[in-house]
Amino acid sequence: MKKNPKKILIPAALLLTAGIIFVSVRLSLPKDDVCTENVARLQEMESADISQTEKELQALKNSDKDAALSQMQEDIASEGAILDEVQIRQAFQGCVILGDSITESIVEYGFLDTDVVVSKRGLSIAHADEQIETAIGLHPSVIFMAFGSNDLEEYGEDSGAFIDAYRQQIQKLQEALPDSPIYINGILPILQSAIDEIPALGNYPQYNEGLQALCEEMGCTFIDNSFIIENDENMYEPDGEHVVLDFYPKWLTYMAETAGL
pLDDT in tens, 164-178: 999 999 999 999 999
Residue 207 lies in a domain: yes
Is 199 within a domain? yes
CA 81 to chain CA centroid, nearest Å: 22
Q: Is residue 166 part of a domain?
A: yes
Query: Does any domain span residue 152?
Result: yes
CATH number, domain containing residue 169: 3.40.50.1110
pLDDT tens, position by position, 45-75: 556 556 565 655 555 545 565 676 677 777 6
Number of domains in the chain: 1
Q: What is the rounded average pLDDT of the residues 128-154?
A: 96
Domain assignment present for 51: no
Would residue 8 count as lying in a domain? no
CB 162, CB 207: distance < 8 Å: yes
> Across 35-127, where does the E strand assignment appear?
95-99, 117-119
Q: What does DSSP say about strands 142-146 and 221-223: parallel, antiparallel, or unpaired?
A: unpaired
Does residue 76 register a pLDDT over 90?
A: no
Instruction: Classify residue 217: in a domain, yes or no.
Output: yes
The pLDDT score that the predictor gives to residue 74 is: 72
Instruction: Give the mean pLDDT of the chain.
Output: 83
Q: Domain of residue 192: give its range.
A: 83-259
**Residue 15 forms part of a structural domain:** no
